[in-house]
Amino acid sequence: MSEERRRYIVSGYMWAYMQRRRYYLAVMVFLAAVVAILLGISSSLPDYGMNLSLNLAADLIGTIVVLFVIAPFIERAELHRDSVLDRFDHRAFIRQAADARHRIVILEMWTDLLQDGYQRPFLDSIRAALEQNVEVRILLLNPDARAAEQRADDLLRRTNVVDNIMDNLLVLNNFRNNLPEQLRRNIEIRVYSALPPVQMYRVDDRIVVSFYPVNITSWNAAQYQTSPRAQLGTFVGTKFDELWEAPSTRTLDQFREITILVNSGEDQKSYRVKFVTSEEETYVCGAEIVAEHLNTGIGRMPVQVVDCNAKGEREVSGSYSLLSLDTMPEDGTIVRNLLGSKYGQHHREVILKLVETPPE
């Protein structure tokens, strides 16, 4: 990043910071004016300098006691006290994220912070946090998991859960890819497949928790504000860690591409390919595979899938063959729409279906 660009970004964050605090700045300016007027009026009094120094010293001692002795106790008491909010406060969370100093953690199916009017302010706040070396972890539901369809049923099919998750992951992928390398190291995005226990939004020692009610989205339901040291905070923190390290959890890169092994004669070659699943069938973008096997064709080549998870575990499974989607016109529209939702572009490349073959 150029120095000019860096200065522009920093100045933008500073302006946003000042805008969020303009009320306090106005009060500070007003009080400073009042103090200046009072000092001017009292300047004619005898022993003005001595009295002013004595009063300032006493006020300074009192301020130090309040800031460094009393305030920490009040803050700790507030952190340990749980409270209930009517609904999720998006703008408050965005402000807190921009001011984060240690970590930001989100556990959700999908989040409307990445949609509509919240998207740009939220992504700006995440970038501001990354600039401060804050660790960001985001864990969303895998749209291919059965839990996505179950949640859609809970919402009476009024909300397209799968499309919302796909859109979130696409936005996050584009955001991460546009970050400088030194910032990208501090953000990690994963997808989980288990049933989600709770929704959680955390900035440093502030946690907002909700459960998944029937008929309405979680951020429109009651929210529980807690801390990592409270019982509820400890519970949701443990659940997040369990899902983060679960064998079925995948990184964002693993969600977007899989590795397949193609055996042609005595040679075996691996390919990283885009893919989608539909009706428990897997379809891959195979233009490169087809181009490299024009002479022999792909119909009889045995194929295996390399399944990796976020923990780095690797398993080679299955015995498959490849079948061109052109031979299945009834599936073509559905699969291409899924690819467009997942990768954000119209796909005209060769699409192949992984067909399981019985062992010989």
Model confidence over 154-167: pLDDT tens digits? 888 888 999 999 99
> Residue 96 belongs to a domain with what CATH number?
3.30.870.10
334 lies in the same domain as 347: yes
Average pLDDT score over residue span 258-287? 89
Task: Give pTM, 2 decimals.
Answer: 0.75
Select from 49, 80, 111 the last residue of a domain.
80
pLDDT, residue 52, reads 61
pLDDT band at 5 (very low <50, low <70, confident <90, very high): very low
pLDDT band at 2 (very low <50, low <70, confident <90, very high): very low
135-141 and 250-251 strand pairing: unpaired
- Asked if the model's pLDDT at residue 109 lies above 90, the reply is yes
Answer yes or no: are the C-beta atoms of 233 and 227 closer than 8 Å.
yes
3-state secondary structure of 237: helix
Largest CA distance in the chain: 107
Per-residue pLDDT of 280-327, as tens digits, reads: 899 999 888 888 887 777 777 889 999 999 999 999 987 888 888 876
* More confident: 194 or 182: 182
Average pLDDT score over residue span 251-255? 96
- For residue 281, the enclosing domain spans 255-356
Answer yes or no: are the C-beta atoms of 297 and 290 closer than 8 Å.
no
Contacts of 175 (CB under 8 A, 6+ apart): 123, 126
Residue found by looking up tokens 């004016």 in the block: 33
Q: Which helix (H) or strand (E) holds 310?
A: none
Would you state the structure tokens that stand for residue 111, as one six-digit string?
Answer: 């989040």
107 lies in the same domain as 201: yes
- Asked if the model's pLDDT at residue 250 lies above 60, the reply is yes
Residue found by looking up tokens 């970050």 in the block: 179
90 lies in the same domain as 223: yes
User: Which residue(s) pair with 320 in the sheet?
Assistant: 303, 356
Answer yes or no: are the C-beta atoms of 154 and 176 closer than 8 Å.
no
Select from 201, 221, 248 the last residue of a domain.
248
Which range scores top for mean pLDDT: 145-154, 294-303, 324-333?
Answer: 145-154
Select from 232, 248, 264 the last residue of a domain.
248
